[in-house]
Amino acid sequence: MAHVVIVGGGLAGCDCAWQLAEAGVSVTLFEMKPEKRSEAHTEDGLAELVCSNSFRATGPAAAIGLLKEEMERLGSLVMEAAFATRVPAGGALAVDRNLFSDYITEKIEGHEAITVVRREIASLDDEALAGADAVVIAAGPLASPDLTESLMAAVGDARLYFYDAIAPIVSRDSVDFDKAFWGSRWKPEDDDYLNCPMSEAEYKAFVAALLEGEKVKPREFEKEVHFEACLPVEAMAERGEMTLAFGPLKPVGFTDPRTGERPFAIVQLRTENADKTAFNLVGFQTKLKYPEQKRIFRMIPGLENAEFLRLGSIHRNTYVNAPEVLDETLQLKNRPGTYLAGQITGVEGYLESAACGLWLGLSLGRRLRGEAVIDPPVETALGALMNHLRTKPDKQFQPSNVNFGLMPGLEGRIKKKFRKEAYGQRAQAAFAAWIEAAGL
């Protein structure tokens, strides 16, 4: 029986372990918690969600929706757990993070082909990795410093850093329901989101406070490069007074029940758990200092007395220059037998990380059994995401969420409003054909 060692029991590590184990490969999964934790992990379970509890949109008109369908079809444990622990979130898929982690932990620990060892692997030369048929490093964007150093020594100086920022969470009890109201965009009857409406004067005072608020300074060894899809709220405010009002605070589709009018801006709070006792501030990832967050975010109408269950913060994100250091099987070019999976490869996002782990587990399992592997075509969400890791960019390699921009353009002239559907239909057809050809 082939044996694979996986380092990191996060989203990628768990989906990778599951695929390998289901293919009859014996797996040892090393997870450093609870002995040691990154600056963002706080729980003991596997597959911990360190920030939002949302897996974003569903349905084939969004690339992330397609990725979900594809992962589900390929037997993703992460998708199985997500559906089993789902909480209401309009058209999005969100989960109760504790139940989600419990579900995966139980499945992984209960699988007869998987052994979970709770200890840090501090070096690629650790003797626990010797003798395995393959080693998978799935230690995430906050991989322990010693392991990061060992990995970086192995890949040379082809490494990059940037910040991710966490959004704060407030307790439901502390929200003023005389001001905040329920409803999704265009759907006042939905009760998945809470909305805090702002007048023009309140909005402008808020933006001014964001600009003046004291921020955490980047550490010397870290470069300050923000990922466009996860910009800190104050960085967005710096781009212009109206940037937030046209971005995460856009009021389109809402009517304030108190006034019967559209507010000037709106702050959305997303359900954080199944019993709706906690809400996160959508788009409010931030580098503001803790006391400043409390002061400034309490300027939001309805949050004057907010109790912050978690404050926002900034975090390191470690990933390799994948097109330079990985081959098409996700193996380190200069260290055969060692593979990377998850965010550390340069995919970005919970599901993208899980999908990367899933694909590595599935393809590696087949290779270890001497079976042929056909890569998913770039027209599919999974294929497009994996192709991103192989594509040398004109400038600096950047992490990416799955999106239609990673897929080849559509042929022929298609009206703008039908394009997303067209991408979705093409992806579904390509995926179905691939599944058949690949014998999956």
Binding residues: 8-13
The reply on whether position 168 binds ligand FAD by CB under 6 A is: no
Q: Could you give the CA distance from residue 111 to residue 380 in angstroms, rounded to a whole number?
A: 30
The reply on whether position 139 binds ligand FAD by CB under 6 A is: yes
The least CB distance from residue 315 to ligand FAD, in Å, is: 4
Find tokens 């200890």 and name the residue: 119
Contacting range for ligand FAD; rule: CB under 6 A; set: 103-111, 137-145, 187-195, 408-416: 137-145
Find tokens 């909005």 and name the residue: 203
The reply on whether position 94 binds ligand FAD by CB under 6 A is: no
Show the site string, 52-91: x = touches ligand FAD by CB under 6 A, - = not: x---------------------------------------
The reply on whether position 104 binds ligand FAD by CB under 6 A is: no
Question: From the CA atom positions of the chain, what is the Rg in Å?
Answer: 22
User: Which residues does the annotation place in the binding site for FAD?
Assistant: 8-13
Pairing label, strands 265-271, 278-281: antiparallel
Contacting range for ligand FAD; rule: CB under 6 A; set: 1-9, 263-271, 300-308, 359-367: 1-9
Show the site string, 303-322: x = touches ligand FAD by CB under 6 A, - = not: ------------x-x-----
Beta-bridge partners for 197: 266
Considering only 41, 111, 172, 426, the residue that binds ligand FAD (CB under 6 A) is 41
The least CB distance from residue 67 to ligand FAD, in Å, is: 11
CB 256 within 8 A of CB 197: yes
In one-letter notation, the amino acid at residue 346 is: G
The least CB distance from residue 326 to ligand FAD, in Å, is: 14
Q: Could you give the CA distance from residue 144 to residue 380 in angstroms, rounded to a whole number?
A: 33
Q: Write down the H helix ranges in 180-321.
A: 200-212, 233-238, 243-246, 290-297
Contacting range for ligand FAD; rule: CB under 6 A; set: 31-39, 124-132, 189-197, 292-300: 31-39
What does the DSSP assignment read for 230-250?
G--HHHHHHT-TTHHHHTTT-
Q: Could you give the CA distance from residue 130 to residue 139 in angstroms, rounded to a whole number?
A: 18
The reply on whether position 353 binds ligand FAD by CB under 6 A is: yes
Size of the site for ligand FAD (CB under 6 A): 37
Contacting range for ligand FAD; rule: CB under 6 A; set: 11-19, 246-254, 383-391, 402-410: 11-19
The reply on whether position 343 binds ligand FAD by CB under 6 A is: yes
Pairing label, strands 92-95, 86-87: antiparallel
Q: Which is nearer to ligand FAD, 184 or 280 (CB)?
A: 280
Overall residue count recorded for the chain in this entry: 440
Find tokens 């993703």 and name the residue: 76
The reply on whether position 111 binds ligand FAD by CB under 6 A is: no
Contacting range for ligand FAD; rule: CB under 6 A; set: 180-188, 248-256, 300-308, 345-353: 345-353
Q: Could you give the CA distance from residue 114 to residue 237 in angstroms, rounded to a whole number?
A: 47
Q: Could you give the CA distance from residue 218 to residue 53 in angstroms, rounded to a whole number?
A: 26
> Residues near 89 by Cβ (< 8 Å), separated by ≥ 6?
54, 192, 193, 270, 271
The least CB distance from residue 77 to ligand FAD, in Å, is: 12
> Residues near 381 by Cβ (< 8 Å), separated by ≥ 6?
63, 64, 66, 67, 70, 355, 402, 407, 427
The reply on whether position 342 binds ligand FAD by CB under 6 A is: yes
The least CB distance from residue 376 to ligand FAD, in Å, is: 19
Contacting range for ligand FAD; rule: CB under 6 A; set: 60-68, 90-98, 297-305, 343-351: 343-351
Determine the distance from the C-alpha atom of residue 49 to the mean position of all C-alpha atoms in its chain, rounded to a whole number.
8
Residues binding ligand FAD (CB under 6 A) = 7-13, 30-33, 38, 40-41, 50-52, 120-121, 138-144, 147, 164, 166, 315, 317, 342-344, 349-350, 353
